[in-house]
Amino acid sequence: MKEGPDIARLAALIGDPARANILTALMSGKALTASELAFEAGVTAQTASSHLAKLADGGLVAMRKSGRHKYFTLANDAVAATLESLMGLAAGSGHLRTRTGPKDAAMRQARVCYNHLAGERGVQMYQAMQAKGFLRHSDDALELTELGVAFVSDLGINLAELPAGKAPLCRDCLDWSARQSHLAGKLGRALLSHFIQHGWAKRQENSRVITFTPKGAQQFDAQFSAPQHHP
């Protein structure tokens, strides 16, 4: 057998419909119990536990205990990025869920993508920060420029206080609904936290939908509108 990464094994893990539903539910960024994930996947608790064991063994989910309860999350940012990319590929290829509902429009406008802002609002923020020179690509990596450092500092985000870890400061993430990039990484997480903590937006209960208040939407647009070019 040829050496190299075993993408077939990971693809098989993700490709099972029940496991795909479990992973999609964990894209909310919340830690969920096996019972909650069984409900999301439409399977019994015993079947969900079997799926979770396989996902954990494959390095796709992580488990932690709190008292008598076990909670599951996605293993890391790389797993979330892969899932979002697969969602974008599925949407672009016409592989969409047939059941739609009233939350669809709200999900497309603004939602949580694991730990950062996605949807039309997320794309708007990413494009505005690029247009204003706050973000740039260098050697296939996304960087925060000096102008960007000054901008986020003025916004009230202290880059030195962001949590340590392997996650990059900035990373672009393909948005499955808009088919364009939004901002992920530590900065993407910090910006979404900033919007929620300062009352610009709130997260709908038991949903990935992010709802901006009227005042918050005005503040967001003031900060993240693309500069106007006049002839």
Residue 64 within any structural domain of the chain: yes
Residue 2 within any structural domain of the chain: no
What are the angstrom distances between the C-alpha of 53 and each of 1, 13, 57, 58, 78? Answer: 26, 11, 6, 9, 19
Last residue of a domain, one of 22, 41, 75: 75
Residue 199 within any structural domain of the chain: yes
The tokens describing 127, both together, are 């494009």
Same domain, 190 and 87: yes
Same domain, 66 and 84: no
Residue 230 within any structural domain of the chain: no
The tokens describing 174, both together, are 């393909």
Residue 37 within any structural domain of the chain: yes
Same domain, 21 and 120: no
The tokens describing 183, both together, are 């901002």
Neighbours of 205 (CB within 10 A): 6
What's the chain's Rg over C-alpha atoms?
19
- What percent of the chain shows pLDDT beyond 90? 55
H or E segment and range at residue 138 = strand 135-138
Q: What pTM does this model have?
A: 0.75
Of the candidates 121, 224, 122, the residue with the CA atom closest to the CA atom of residue 183:
122
Same domain, 56 and 86: no
Q: How wide is the angle at C-alpha 167 spanned by C-alphas 161 and 170, nearest 5°?
A: 80
Owning domain of residue 18: 7-75
Same domain, 50 and 134: no
Last residue of a domain, one of 24, 51, 75: 75
Confidence of residue 96 (pLDDT cuts 50, 70, 90): low
Considering its fold, how many domains does the chain have in total?
Answer: 2
- The pLDDT mean for the chain works out to 87
CATH of the domain at 71: 1.10.10.10
Of the candidates 218, 216, 228, 219, the residue with the CA atom closest to the CA atom of residue 132:
228
Last residue of a domain, one of 28, 55, 75: 75
Mean pLDDT across the stretch 169-196? 90
Same domain, 85 and 71: no
Q: Which of 89-103, 132-146, 168-182 has the highest mean pLDDT?
A: 132-146
Same domain, 179 and 208: yes
3-state secondary structure (DSSP) of residue 203? strand
- Find out whether 91 and 174 touch, Cβ atoms under 8 Å: no
Residue 158 within any structural domain of the chain: yes
Q: State residue 231's pLDDT score.
A: 46
Q: State residue 57's pLDDT score.
A: 94
Same domain, 159 and 197: yes
Residue 229 within any structural domain of the chain: no
- Which amino acid appears at position 38 of this protein? A
Phi-psi region of 171 (alpha: psi -120 to 50; beta: other; left: phi over 0): beta
Same domain, 86 and 198: yes
Same domain, 192 and 92: yes
Q: Which of 73-82, 91-100, 153-162 has the highest mean pLDDT?
A: 153-162
Q: State residue 205's pLDDT score.
A: 80
